[in-house]
């Protein structure tokens, strides 16, 4: 019997499957100090973004040598000290295939919200304002979408945006992608200059320095829209607010923040911002796929 700790929630069907396989599953969130003690008792730890599995927690788990596998239900693993865990013989896995469509759809949702003033119109109408003349938007059709990071999510977004009639350009640290001749690979600098919408789908720099900061904003065309459904560290939030206030950016769609839950209410309440609380993978379908992938990982490992 394998003892499994699920700290941040998991698809109920997947939990039932694990129990039917004869495993003991505990579903409970623990604060860091308590997690240090609890980590000693489990063979598998399944986390999402809320739980941080840092060196001190891993060190405590090593005292009993029970913990063999840490699974991140999602893509990004910056909340886990991956290198240290694996150097100590603890395997770390994630579920990169499961949430691509969900995140791509949210990025598109933010684009629609900004281009057609859907978010701010909801707010002002609830304040009994009829701002029909102020909300002359624009169509996504015919606009250039620049995708920074052309992995699974970037490719899924490109496919969906192309159907809407957008022109797709992209950049990626690995260079041009094979089998995607319909999209144009260009440098980051050229992408910043040429795009009407820019969507970020990169894991971020290891040193937490922003991929998009003051210098990058200065290269963008006036009136561009920026979407970040990747990681909060990818964008310099102070420079982002400056770009919004100056008019360099027409709007920003933000799902992730440098600190979560965010305390940057100047950004959250900005009238040019469409904002969500890190819900990129939060669809019923994605969570079911994540659960299925987690079950597969556990079956394969043990």
CB-count burial class (<10 Å; 0-12, 13-18, 19+) for 254: buried
Q: What's the farthest any 2 CA atoms get from each other in the chain?
A: 66
Distance CA 117, CA 132 (A): 10
CA-to-CA dists, residue 14 to 17, 25, 26, 112, 256, angstroms: 5, 11, 13, 33, 26
Distance CA 275, CA 296 (A): 33
Paired tokens of 224: 């561009």
Active-site position among 231, 237, 270, 289: 231
Active site residue 260: yes
CA-to-CA dists, residue 237 to 120, 213, 245, 276, angstroms: 20, 8, 12, 15
Active-site position among 72, 152, 201, 278: 278
Q: Are 286 and 10 in contact, with CB atoms under 8 Å apart?
A: no
Active site residue 289: no
Closest Cα partner for 166 from 212, 190, 137, 198? Answer: 198
Active site residue 278: yes
184-189, long-range: CB within 8 Å, 24+ apart, which pairs? 185/150, 188/148, 188/216, 189/219
CA-to-CA dists, residue 284 to 40, 256, 277, angstroms: 32, 20, 16
Active-site position among 34, 65, 139, 260: 260
Chain-centre distance for alpha carbon 136:
30
Q: Are 266 and 127 in contact, with CB atoms under 8 Å apart?
A: no
Active site residues: 231, 260, 278
């Amino acid at each position: 019997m394998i003892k499994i700790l699920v700290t941040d929630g998991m698809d109920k069907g997947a939990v039932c499957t694990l129990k039917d396989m004869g495993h003991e599953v505990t579903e409970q969130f623990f604060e860091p100090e308590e997690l240090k003690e609890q980590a000693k008792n489990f063979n598998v730890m399944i986390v999402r973004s809320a739980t941080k599995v840092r060196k001190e927690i891993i060190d405590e788990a090593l005292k009993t040598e029970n913990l063999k596998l840490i699974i991140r239900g999602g893509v990004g693993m910056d909340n886990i000290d991956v290198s240290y865990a694996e150097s100590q013989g603890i395997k770390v896995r994630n579920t990169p295939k499961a949430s691509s469509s969900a995140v791509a759809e949210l990025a598109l949702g933010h684009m629609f919200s900004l281009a057609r003033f859907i978010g701010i119109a909801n707010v002002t109408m609830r304040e009994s304002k009829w701002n029909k003349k102020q909300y002359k938007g624009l169509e996504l059709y015919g606009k250039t979408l620049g995708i920074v990071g052309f992995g699974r999510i970037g490719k899924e977004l490109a496919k969906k945006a192309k159907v809407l009639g957008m022109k797709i350009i992209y950049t990626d640290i690995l260079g041009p992608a094979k089998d995607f001749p319909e999209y144009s690979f260009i440098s980051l600098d050229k992408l910043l200059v040429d795009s009407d919408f820019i969507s970020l789908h990169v894991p971020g720099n290891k040193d937490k320095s922003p991929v998009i900061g003051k210098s990058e904003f200065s290269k963008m065309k006036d009136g561009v829209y920026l979407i970040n459904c990747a990681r909060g560290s990818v964008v310099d939030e102070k420079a982002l607010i400056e770009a919004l206030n100056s008019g360099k950016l027409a709007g920003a769609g933000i799902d992730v923040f440098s600190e979560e839950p965010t305390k940057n209410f100047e950004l959250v309440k900005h009238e040019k911002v469409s904002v969500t609380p890190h819900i990129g993978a939060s669809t019923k379908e994605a969570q079911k796929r994540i659960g299925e992938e987690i079950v597969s990982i556990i079956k394969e490992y043990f």
